[in-house]
Amino acid sequence: MEKLIITAAICGAEVTKEHNPAVPYTVAEIVREAKSAYDAGASVIHLHVRHDNGTPTQDKARFKECIDAIKALIPDVIIMPSTGGSVGMTNDERLQPTELDIEMATLDCGTCNFGGDDIFENSENTIKYFGKRMIERGIKPELEVFDKSMIDMALRLAKKGFILPPFHFDFVMGVNGGIDGTLRDFTFMRGSIPEGATYTVAGIGRYEFPLAVAAIIDGGHVRVGFEDNIFISKGVLAKSNGELVEKVVRLAKELGREIANPQEARKILSIKN
């Protein structure tokens, strides 16, 4: 079985310090959380960025500032910026980090209700536009899928040349408006991707660690972090992203799975560097 790739989604666009005081906003805080996750065993940092007041932004200059600061401290880590941004951003606004020298980026493969009036919109033409940009820039896409239909969309667009194999999916499970986080639904998603594809599971909230265990056993990979879950156990706030990663490492060791370092992760994900 391949070694386990752990991705740390260290801040997201929605969670705030009111939810957990350790959520990072400033460049220094983002570096702190990236380092804590890396030291604990994460080889990929899924990166959103904020202004110092916590407002999410896709500003290319802010991404560069954060990426440069992280790389200065941990040069071998894989940094995967978000092209999801936050609800209401334009396509070109969301794509700003792809103008930087990056190895990976997220590519959201469908529209999803995020509760209330919030709709995370990703039309077919948006997905094509993002996919083409990543091909042109040599960026490995992580295909973010919130439901089985989004896997189907990704595979249809791959046949048309907008997404290139080998595919790497991220099953985002337990989001309001997306697929649930049950083992039944994990099995459904897992069985829907083609042979040879890799996948990571991002369980939201209480689903984070049960789905991590499922992925560890199955040979998949795991995403944890404040973007998805702010608790280390029921009712107990995590002190850092590193603490969440450490728990996954402990689970993996108990289940006999070794942890991939960044260079091993690049090989597993077919990232050219």
Query: How many helices (DSSP H) and strands (DSSP E) are in the chain?
Result: 9, 14
d(CA 156, CA 167): 13
Q: What is the mean pLDDT of residues 164-181?
A: 96
Cis check for the bond before 81: say yes or no (omega within 30 of 0).
Answer: no
What rounded mean pLDDT belongs to the chain?
A: 96
DSSP 11: S
Helices (H), 45-195: 60-73, 91-94, 124-137, 148-159, 183-190
Radius of gyration for the alpha carbons in the chain, expressed in angstroms and rounded: 17
Q: Determine contact, residues 249/82, Cβ cutoff 8 Å.
A: no
Q: What is the pLDDT of residue 105?
A: 98
Q: What is the pLDDT of residue 88?
A: 80
In CATH, what number does 6-269 get?
Answer: 3.20.20.70
Q: Determine contact, residues 242/39, Cβ cutoff 8 Å.
A: yes
The tokens for 111 are 């529209």
pLDDT tens, position by position, 34-53: 999 999 999 999 999 999 99
Residue 114 pLDDT more than 90? no
Name the percent of the chain lying above pLDDT 70. Answer: 100
d(CA 200, CA 203): 10
Residue 273 pLDDT more than 80? no
Cis check for the bond before 56: say yes or no (omega within 30 of 0).
Answer: no
Q: What is the pLDDT of residue 227?
A: 97
Per mean pLDDT, which range of 9-23, 60-74, 82-96 is the poorest? 82-96
One-letter amino acid of 37: A
The backbone torsions φ and ψ at residue 148, rounded to the nearest 5 degrees and listed phi first, read -65, -35
Give the count of beta carbons closer than 10 Å to the beta carbon of residue 250.
Answer: 11
One-letter amino acid of 60: K
Break the chain into its structural domains and give their ranges. Answer: 6-269
Q: Determine contact, residues 203/242, Cβ cutoff 8 Å.
A: no
d(CA 76, CA 244): 21
Q: What is the mean pLDDT of residues 130-155?
A: 98
Q: What is the pLDDT of residue 89?
A: 87
Segment (H or E) for 243: helix 241-254
Torsion sign across C-alpha atoms 180, 13, 38, 17: negative
Q: What is the mean pLDDT of residues 127-148?
A: 98
Q: What is the mean pLDDT of residues 251-263?
A: 98
Q: Determine contact, residues 20/226, Cβ cutoff 8 Å.
A: yes
The tokens for 112 are 């999803």
